[in-house]
Structure 1
Amino acid sequence: MTLSLIAACIWIVLAAVLAMLPSNDDLWRRAYFLIAIGVPLVGWVTYENGPWIGMAVLAAGMSFLRWPMLYLGRWVKRQIVRG
């Protein structure tokens, strides 16, 4: 297992632990932190292990961050309908 995959596994465990802790802002600050760490991590995994493994890690990250992805999809849809 490469170092990038070990880092991705640690990210997943960190995301699960952060999701279990109580929060006043509905976990948004933690989501921004996880996104900031996760995006370069997905690039690193893709670079070292190839696009299929990179897409699997991306899907795992998106499953943890499903609400930010849902809001992003809604925002993109609004931009397309306006334009």
Structure 2
Amino acid sequence: MLTSPLTFAFLWLIAANVIAMLPSRDRHWRAAGVLIVIGIPILGWVTLTEGPVWGLVLLAGAASVLRWPLIHLFRKARRTPDAPAE
């Protein structure tokens, strides 16, 4: 039997996959924001109650579903600001 945190985590993963299959005008950015806001506390709850291994497994699953927000975040972080003109 699954514990409550893992049950909620798996329900979150199922909901994220169903949302990804639905058509969207804004390329799912609003839904991704909602999924991130809901998923971070679930990830913390799972890590706290089940341990870091399950936390990392859930983090990998969430990153595979929400890969485009992560790709954009890494691209934005990698950009260097322009040097000031002298």
Task: State if a TM-score over 0.5 links the two structures.
Answer: yes
Give aligned pairs, total: 81
Describe the SS at the equivalent of 2:45.
helix
Identity, % of aligned pairs? Answer: 46
Query: CA–CA distance in 1 between the matches of 2:78 and 2:20?
Result: 27
Letter in 2 for 1:14: A
CA RMSD after TM alignment:
1.1
Counterpart of 1:45 in structure 2 is: 46
Structure 1 length-normalised TM:
0.93
CA distance in 2, matches of 1:14, 1:62: 14
Superposed displacement of residue 64, structure 1: 0.1
- CA distance in 1 between counterparts of 2:76 and 2:20 reads 24
**1:1-83 correspondence to structure 2 within 5 Å:** 1-78=2-79, 81-82=80-81
Quote the offset at 1:76 in angstroms: 1.1
Runs (4+) off by over 2 Å: none
Separation in 2, partners of 1:41, 1:73:
23
* Structure whose alpha-carbon radius of gyration is higher: 2
Give unmatched runs, 5+ long, in structure 2: none
Query: Which structure has the highest helix share of the two?
Result: 1
1:82: how far off?
2.9
2 CA distance for matches of 1:55 and 1:7? 16
> What is the letter of the counterpart of residue 47 of structure 2?
T
TM-score when normalising by structure 2: 0.90
**1:9-35, Cα deviation, whole Å (9 max, x unpaired):** 000110011111110000100000100
